[in-house]
Structures are given as structure tokens and as C-alpha cells.
Amino acid sequence: MTVRVRFAPSPTGMFHVGGARSALQNWIYAKQQGGVFVLRIEDTDAARNKPEWTEGILSALDWIGISRGSYEGPYFQSANAGEHRAAAARLHDSGRAYYCDCTREDVQARTGSQYQGYDGYHRDRGLGPGPGHALRFRTPDEGVTVVVDLIRGEPTFENKLIEDFVIARGDGSPVFLLANVVDDMTMGITHVIRAEEHLPNTPKQQLLWEALGVKPPIWAHVPVVVNEKRQKLSKRRDKVALEAYRDEGYLAGAMRNYLMLLGWAPSGDREIVPWSVIEDEFRLDEVNLSSAFFDEKKLRAFNGEYIRALPVAEFIDACQPWLTGSGTIAPPPWQPEEFDADAFAAVAALAQTRITVLSEIVPNVDFLFLASPLIDEAAWAKTMKDGSAELLDAAVAAFETLESWDAESLKSTLEAVGAERGLKLGKTQAPVRVAVTGRTVGLPLFESLEVLGRERTLTRMRAARLRLV
């Protein structure tokens, strides 16, 4: 039997990081088993679907390494609507489903509770199809439904506790439960790997598989992804869009690595490992049962490690969208023609050790490409105090006559200026840094001055001195 797994997102918004994890788990499992990964777009909610969301799914999968052309699909659920309706008709004709025109208020009036499920009122009343007549599955009165789950063992559900659930709406359109089952049958899906939030629906879907005469797939329900409050990650409340992390400057490799650790870990006391190791070692039956905490701080630290591991040339290439304004949410504060590739290359290795996401490159190097620095007023107020004017005058005078404009000479010269005033280098260089870069923190000062050049450095120091008058 050829293993066939599927990833079936809905194009109703940005691509959820939890969905990205499920896609990767399915992808790896298919590769390990020599099987097939199928992409199905569940697009039957026409009111919420947009073509750009579908493209967003494809682009996000491309980014994390599941590239177009390497999987089967994408298929679209809406194209299988005829099969969905045919399956509903077969279930009705075989007596496994019946029509019901009860409203929620009707059920509540009979049961006396808004929390009680449907009471089977129309099971044997022979109601036919018609406007407002929903089709309900006739759940067995006795016995149990056993779900074979690679992660959770064999969860068992008493059939008498499963209400006769709706499989087609009053207008005849099948609901998600039935459409999902029919699609999986049509596509020959053998394993369904998805989040545990779908587990309550699984006995219903398994009953549908059996009623339609097809052996159910093997299930694997991975732990739900939660935030720091142990609440399920929500699009309305949490930062969950994979595209947002991509656009902020997270590396695909770091994101892949981190997502695969949500509920699973490689062998040994390690977390940051090559993707080949993850592909080789990942096992569904080793996935934890407890909820998986999506820790953005930890992800950011992961990303910093991945950035620092890049060869400098690759780091320079990776930064280009933020430096040139292409493909990023916010353009840089300089014009394209102001960007100096050689100047950036000169400081790239220094910047690489100081950032954790690629978008941080802009405030670290903007002083190199602007006519004048962007002054952080809080930094100015904190640094430019009594004595700063005199210190800048002395530093300008010393720098003007400096024979060799290199980092070592600049450092020793400023150290001497400070020593004459009883100041250590840290105190001496603070006003110079703010005058030249606009900030109190950033790249190593003297290497920065070397790249900026004598003329631009002195111009900025003089401008700062005039502001202190």
C-alpha cells in the first residue's frame, strides 16, 4: 500500500503557524514512507474564500520548503461537490441518514435544555427532502467506535453518546464532515495527520467511512499549539501568520526547525539540528500528548542562531529585501540610490552577530546610507550632557589631523581625548556614537566610523556640536 497523506487548509486568511507544522509533519511522514503528499484547498466557504489566500498558502509552503511541483495537487474541494452530494444520497438511500426539519429552538423546547444534543425526533418519521430539511446521519444506538491513532493509541467513543449529526444542510449542500471524508476517499488518503482539536469529529468521520463501505484511514492527532497562557493560538489574539514571521525576517530553516519541535524533539540534548536529521529521526509515535507552547522569544533566539551560522555572503543576500525595499512591508528610510553595497559588505559580518531577525538590519546600518543620522531623542537627552560639547570639539580636532583613518587609530585617538579629561572610553565614545549614528547602541563604533569616512563623520560631529550651543 502506498502511503498517501494530505494537507487540507482553507483559504480564509493568513497561513497559520499551526497549519505549517501540520504540513511539515505530513510532508516528512510521506517522504519517510516513500509515499505521496497531497495538497487540497478546502474552498467551499465561498463567502470567506479569496484567490489571494490560496496563493498565500502556496507561497508559504514554498517558503518552508514544500515547493510547488513536489506534491500532488493542489486540488480544490469545490470541484468535488458532485461526489459530496452523491455520497449524501447513498447514505439516505441505504437508510444510514434521514431528513429532519427541526430548528435549534425545536430541539431545545423538547429537551428543555440548550446544551442537550439532538434527540432523534425525525429518525423514523419518513420526512422527505425539501427546503429547510437537513440530512442527519443515523448514528448506531449501541457499540463503540474505536479510533486507531498513531499518537493517542485507541481512543474509544460510545456510539450512544454521539448525536445524529447533520451531514447536509437544508439547501442540500454537504457539511465539512461529509465533504472531508468523501474527498479523502476519492484521493485514496491512507493516513490523516492533523491537530488534536479535530479528534472529537473523528468518530463521526470514521462512522461515515464505514457507512460508505470504505476502510477508514489511520489517524494521528498531534497536540494543539498554544500561547504562553496555554490558550489555543488564535488569529484574533496571537501572532500566528507564517507570512508575518517571513516578512519580519525569520529564516525558513529556523522556522522549520522550530515548528517541528512543537510536540517532538530529536535525539540527544539538542534542538537546533540540520533538517536532514529531522527528516531522518521524526516519528509520529514519539510526538507528545501535551499541548505545544509556541514561544516567540525562543523562536527569535533560534533565528539568531541560524543567522549567525550563515556564510557572510549568504547573510548579505538574505538582507537585500530590507536594504533595497523589495519584498518587505516597510521600505527602508533611505532611497534606493543612497544604498551603498560596498559599505554594507564592510560591516555585514559585524551586523550579523547583533541581529535576531533580518529586519533589524535597518536600524543597525541606516546611519551609513542617510545624509544625516536619525536621532533617537531619548538617547540624545541621556548622552549629551555637561561636557559633551567640549568633548566633541576635542574629538573633532583630533580626528581632523589623524593620519590613518582606520578603526584602531580612531579608537586610540579617542581614548587619549578621554584620558585627558579623566574619562574611560565608554563615557568618551557615547556622545560621538549618538552624534554619528543617532543611537546609543549599534555596531562597533570605530569600525563604523572607518566605513563612514572622515568627511561624513566630522560633518555629523560638528552638526551635533552646533545643536549643543
Across the chain, which has 469 residues, the per-10-residue mean pLDDT values are 95 90 97 97 79 91 95 95 96 96 84 71 90 95 95 95 94 93 97 95 97 97 93 86 94 97 93 95 94 95 98 97 84 91 97 97 96 95 93 96 96 96 94 96 97 97 93
Task: Report the alpha-carbon distance of residue 38 to residue 36 in Å, rounded.
Answer: 6
Largest CA distance in the chain: 102
What pLDDT score was predicted for residue 183? 97
* Enzyme catalytic residues: 235
Q: Under a CB-based contact definition with an 8 Å cutoff, are residues 180 and 209 in contact?
A: no
**Domains located in the chain, CATH noted:** 311-361 (no CATH), 377-467 (1.10.10.350)
Q: Under a CB-based contact definition with an 8 Å cutoff, are residues 254 and 303 in contact?
A: yes
What pLDDT score was predicted for residue 334? 93
What pLDDT score was predicted for residue 52? 86
Q: Which residues pair with 166 in a beta bridge?
A: 136
The three-class DSSP label of residue 70 is coil
Q: Which residues pair with 92 in a beta bridge?
A: none
Among 410, 383, 368, 378, which residue's Cα sits nearest to residue 464? 383
The three-class DSSP label of residue 249 is coil
Q: Under a CB-based contact definition with an 8 Å cutoff, are residues 274 and 221 in contact?
A: no
pLDDT digits (tens, 9 = 90+) for 214-233: 999 999 999 999 999 898 98
Q: What is the pTM of this model?
A: 0.91
The three-class DSSP label of residue 200 is helix
Which cell numbers hold the place of 135? 440530512
Q: How many Cα atoms within 13 Å fall on the side-chain side of residue 21?
A: 28
List of long-range contacts for 260-267, beta carbons under 8 Å, 24+ apart: 260/21, 260/24, 260/25, 260/28, 262/21, 262/223, 262/225, 262/292, 262/293, 262/294, 263/222, 263/223, 263/287, 263/288, 263/290, 263/292, 264/288
Supply φ then ψ for residue 270, to 5 degrees: -150, 155
Task: Mark out the alpha helices in 353-423 (DSSP H runs).
Answer: 361-365, 377-383, 388-400, 407-419
